[in-house]
Structure 1
Amino acid sequence: MTSTIAAGGPAGTVRRSGNSRGRAGSIGLWLVMLAQLMLVLDATVVNVALPHIATDLDFTRAQLSWVLNGYAVSFGGLLLLGGRIGDVFGRRRTFLLGVAVFTVFSLLGGLATSPLLLVIARALQGLGAAFAAPSVLALITTSARDDGARNRALALFSAVASMGGALGLILGGLLTDMANWRWTLFINVPIGVAVLIAVPRLVAETPRRPGRFDILGAVSATGGAVAIVWALIQAGDDGWSSPRTIGGFVVGAALITVLAFTERRVAHPLLHPQLLRSPSRVAALAAMAATYGGMLAMFFLMVQYLENDLHLTPLLTGLAFLPMPLSIFAMSRIVPRLVERFGAVRLVMLGAALRVVAFLPLTQLSANTPFAIVMVALLLTGISAGMTFMPLTTLALRNVEPGHAGSASGLFQTMQQLGGAVGLAIVASTYAAFATPGDFLTGGRAGFWSATILSALALAAVVGLVIRPRKVG
């Protein structure tokens, strides 16, 4: 880092040069990215600790699912609201508020002494994540110096988003085995405190966007998303035809209809209709939903296979996923150059096709399946994710006005979270329909077929864009 001595100032006084400010900004964005990793991995970090949580806090089987679902419902349901608040009140300010809420309730969740307190803490963690996450992507896209820097930052963001789930499983297994399940939540506290101290000094605030706040849009978007996510989660317990599941979908659909009606008529909408007028953006949103749904479904099934069928410890179960984050990180280093050479659409297609190939062997799992096949499938899944997430992010945020970056980011991540909820609900229902007591493989194979179909839908979402490569990259 270069610096110059301030003329006429006391000895040791240093004035930062432009290069110093640039490096400080880079460090700030790295810290923002670290916070994003913390938010993403928290969706899975408690997975392998669930049996220990159930024993320690006397959870019933039905209650235990809400340790995961409480976070998913509030995170997925409030992302659009978080993105809009960032646009109106400043993204750095909204990001820091979200990180503060997330950090406080991570600590309280780790200290929880009853199922209710832990579930409430997890839901409020999701609230903080929903406020912080859209501002992360918006800060990245609006702070980049040029297209090259933007692509590199998006590649890193995409690597974090796509490998966070696998890292959560590894970290959760390590902490559960080496300490106890409470450290899967305590680990967020020092990270959150460091981000809250350093980011205000290193990352500039974005301009506020003047205008009135769309209260009706916020209520209908948030309520509709929460209702749909809740219904999808309940379907795994109550069934798709239960009155509660159907009622949740009806309420969600009604609120989304209100949102669509409202956003066309208000001066400052929460969700700008023009964001959905781009075919490449709509295709990217659909592909992201199907991609993330398939990956989270695979995590759900693979953890059960490794722990129940192969009888691995939580630590070894987590470490079995190591090929995924390693391959995703490796791909993140070269994907920006691949996008420049081949275009985002072609790379997404190749990654989606590779993911289908990776999942197919898992549909044929048996007691005699070599473990090497499972590891190769995880490796190929990581490569395909690293090849897919950054181009999808590029397509989803291309040509978005800076003033709408937070809303577009919130929409993109909402589709990611809702896709994960849909994937888990479909796979859990399929698994339950075909499962037999004491035998994972029968239901597991059916579940992996569902995950494979979800990956094929991601491929189908972008196939039509190939005929227009000049318009979408």
Structure 2
Amino acid sequence: MTRTSATHGSTARPGLTLAAVAVVQFMVSLDLSVVNVGLPRIAAGLGFTAAGLTWVIHAYALAFGGLLLLGGKAADRYGRKRVLLSGLGLFGLASLAGGFAQAPGHLVTARAVQGIGAAALAPAALAVLTATFPAGRARVRAFGVWSAMNAAGGALGVLAGGLLTQYAGWRWVMFVNVPMAACALGLASRGIAPGPPGARGGRPDVLGAVLATAGTTLLVFGVVRTDQYAWTSPVTVTTLVAAAVLLAAFLHVERTTGREPLVRLGLFANRSVAGANAFNLLLGAAMASALYFVSLHLQQVLGTGPATTGVMFLPFALGGVGGSVLAAVLGHRLAPRTLLIAGGLLTATGFAWFGLISPDGTFVTDVLGPSVAAGTGFGLCLGPVVSTATAGVAPHETGTASGLLNSSRQIGASLGLAALGTTAQHRTGRTVTPEALDDGYALGLTLGAALLLTAVLIAVTVLRRTGRPVQADPLPTRNRPH
């Protein structure tokens, strides 16, 4: 790697590269969950309606997920470091603007711009990691660190959100990203080599990105509004049909465009890519919904405050970090497919256990055990799913493959929260009592377990069995780009 970096006029620093990518992933993952605990106070502070409040989450997840493929393609086309630094700058500025929001529309817009920045920086960071640590033990260790930061950010985001909301005010769930973005900018500037020039070719497929984002947004919008309009109503049917038309148009553009397609559909012929992304979509759907339901259950059913709720998520956070470390240790002995199956089953068990929550329950009886099980299983999945999704992908498509994987998780998160949230709300009904709320949250958590079992089935049937992982780093046979 040193020879390659020197060829391009800069010396790579693998340690700083890993640190920069770890901070980036922690920040992105934290931002997906840090607002959850603060949602009730955000609603009170800015005047959100119950339905409008979910768009604080959806605006970020949809912009993030819908534009990740474009971000991955831009990283391949214009250079990973350049796109990573640009995305970090935009993310930090949007976080600052969101903290100063004075109306619901201001915050939703800031969250959408945050998603755009994250869509640029996340695939670029993951592509840098994949290129810097191409094989062997170093790759397993690097992805172990990455997945630990992913798990810690997602779970500690709830803890940080609770503490910040109660003691500093809800605006700090946005401001907290600014120093992290600045830190990541400094590390990435110093530690990541510029790498080779971007791949030459036509301009990135902006039309495809617009169609994909618009289609998924309409799909989520249609599902969310079923609390007001029945599934068979003209409003819902028209919205969902329009979403299907836009998504079909996206697939047509990707097959026929004369420009560089947003994603080469031939990538899905790789069973590792297809299976890992399907698994990741369902994992994202279940995880985002679980964090949402458990946070609301603790506050609205059990009556705990934001800070206490955040502390109660610590077992989930520690379980996620522990699972990630365990995956790194076992990654030398077990195939990624095996770890995905084990992690998926353990996470599903935790969610099914969460589904037994009751309005008379306590943290010890209803939250502690399932948090440890679900968190550990989630951590077990993170590194192996990335390693699987990028296996056998050509170097010039690593950014696209990384963007595709991140996109599947974010779109899954938004679709899962829309579908399971709406289902829970239908179960709750119009009588908003602790018992009714608990009934709806329990149903949503149980359905999350079903999604994880479906993900395990995909891992069993789609992903190929592979041999034991490489036990030592192979000697470099050719220069590898950063």
With the length of structure 2 as denominator, give the TM-score of the two structures: 0.88
State the match for 2:391 in structure 1: 398
Which of 437, 443, 447 lines up with 2:444 in the alignment? Answer: 447
Does residue 210 of structure 2 align to residue 219 of structure 1?
Answer: yes
| CA displacement 1:248-300 (0-9 Å, x = unmatched) | 43233223322322323346321012210022321211111111211111111
Does residue 401 of structure 2 align to residue 408 of structure 1?
Answer: yes
State the match for 2:478 in structure 1: none
Contact 1:294/1:423 (<8 A) preserved = yes
Structure with larger RCO (C-alpha < 8 A, sep 6+): 2
Does residue 83 of structure 2 align to residue 94 of structure 1?
Answer: yes
1:238 Cα deviation from its structure 2 partner: 4.4
2:251 alignment partner AA: A
1:169 Cα deviation from its structure 2 partner: 0.8
CA distance in 1, matches of 2:392, 2:285: 26
Alignment map for 1:120-135 (pairs within 5 Å): 120-135=109-124
1:166 Cα deviation from its structure 2 partner: 1.5
Alignment map for 1:324-403 (pairs within 5 Å): 324-373=316-365, 374-403=367-396
SS in 2 for 1:342: coil
Contact 1:80/1:222 (<8 A) preserved = no
Structure 1, 133-142 or 239-248: larger mean CA deviation? 239-248
Alignment map for 1:8-23 (pairs within 5 Å): none
Which of 105, 115, 140 lines up with 1:151 in the alignment? Answer: 140
Alignment map for 1:107-126 (pairs within 5 Å): 107-126=96-115
Structure 2 residues without counterparts, runs of 5 or longer: 1-5, 470-482
1:361 Cα deviation from its structure 2 partner: 2.4
1:146 Cα deviation from its structure 2 partner: 3.7
CA distance in 2, matches of 1:86, 1:449: 38
State the match for 1:422 in structure 2: 415
Contact 1:57/1:113 (<8 A) preserved = yes
CA distance in 1, matches of 2:105, 2:206: 30
State the match for 2:162 in structure 1: 173
| CA displacement 1:321-347 (0-9 Å, x = unmatched) | 101221221232231331231211111
CA distance in 2, matches of 1:290, 1:144: 27
Check 1:66–1:223 CA distance in 2 against 1; reply closer, same or farther (3 A cut): closer
Contact 2:326/2:380 (<8 A) preserved = no
1:244 Cα deviation from its structure 2 partner: 4.3
State the match for 1:12 in structure 2: none
Structure 1, 258-267 or 333-342: larger mean CA deviation? 258-267
1:379 alignment partner AA: V
Does residue 46 of structure 2 align to residue 57 of structure 1?
Answer: yes
Contact 1:80/1:221 (<8 A) preserved = no
State the match for 2:252 in structure 1: 261
CA distance in 1, matches of 2:60, 2:206: 24
2:454 alignment partner AA: L
Contact 1:163/1:325 (<8 A) preserved = yes
Does residue 23 of structure 2 align to residue 34 of structure 1?
Answer: yes
Contact 2:46/2:104 (<8 A) preserved = yes
1:200 alignment partner AA: S
Contact 2:324/2:382 (<8 A) preserved = no
Question: In angstroms, what is the RMSD of aligned CA positions?
Answer: 2.3
State the match for 2:299 in structure 1: 307
1:99 Cα deviation from its structure 2 partner: 0.9
| CA displacement 1:219-270 (0-9 Å, x = unmatched) | 3333333333443444455454444443343233223322322323346321
Structure 1 residues without counterparts, runs of 5 or longer: 1-15
Structure 1, 357-366 or 291-300: larger mean CA deviation? 357-366
Check 1:431–1:62 CA distance in 2 against 1; reply closer, same or farther (3 A cut): closer
Structure 1, 92-101 or 54-63: larger mean CA deviation? 54-63
CA distance in 2, matches of 1:89, 1:225: 26
Does residue 465 of structure 2 align to residue 469 of structure 1?
Answer: yes
Structure 1, 390-399 or 197-206: larger mean CA deviation? 197-206
CA distance in 2, matches of 1:187, 1:247: 40
State the match for 1:231 in structure 2: 222
1:393 alignment partner AA: V
CA distance in 1, matches of 2:151, 2:242: 31
2:425 alignment partner AA: A
State the match for 1:437 in structure 2: 432
Check 1:101–1:241 CA distance in 2 against 1; reply closer, same or farther (3 A cut): farther
CA distance in 1, matches of 2:247, 2:442: 35
Check 1:161–1:246 CA distance in 2 against 1; reply closer, same or farther (3 A cut): farther
1:55 Cα deviation from its structure 2 partner: 2.3
CA distance in 1, matches of 2:138, 2:229: 48
Structure 1, 436-445 or 228-237: larger mean CA deviation? 228-237
Contact 1:44/1:169 (<8 A) preserved = yes
Which of 33, 36, 40 lines up with 1:47 in the alignment? Answer: 36
State the match for 1:247 in structure 2: 238
2:183 alignment partner AA: A
Does residue 70 of structure 2 align to residue 81 of structure 1?
Answer: yes
Which of 56, 70, 76 lines up with 1:67 in the alignment? Answer: 56
1:186 Cα deviation from its structure 2 partner: 1.0
SS in 2 for 1:48: coil
1:150 Cα deviation from its structure 2 partner: 1.8
CA distance in 1, matches of 2:178, 2:79: 24
Check 1:231–1:410 CA distance in 2 against 1; reply closer, same or farther (3 A cut): farther
SS in 2 for 1:209: coil
| CA displacement 1:61-115 (0-9 Å, x = unmatched) | 3332222222122112111111111111111111111111111111111111222
CA distance in 2, matches of 1:93, 1:74: 20
Contact 2:16/2:190 (<8 A) preserved = no
1:181 Cα deviation from its structure 2 partner: 0.8
Contact 2:289/2:413 (<8 A) preserved = yes
1:201 Cα deviation from its structure 2 partner: 2.1
1:48 Cα deviation from its structure 2 partner: 1.3
CA distance in 1, matches of 2:137, 2:223: 39
CA distance in 2, matches of 1:367, 1:223: 39
Structure 1, 154-163 or 295-304: larger mean CA deviation? 154-163
SS in 2 for 1:180: coil
CA distance in 1, matches of 2:378, 2:14: 28
Contact 1:345/1:472 (<8 A) preserved = no
Check 1:368–1:385 CA distance in 2 against 1; reply closer, same or farther (3 A cut): same
| CA displacement 1:162-203 (0-9 Å, x = unmatched) | 342221111100111121111111111112122223422221
Check 1:331–1:30 CA distance in 2 against 1; reply closer, same or farther (3 A cut): same
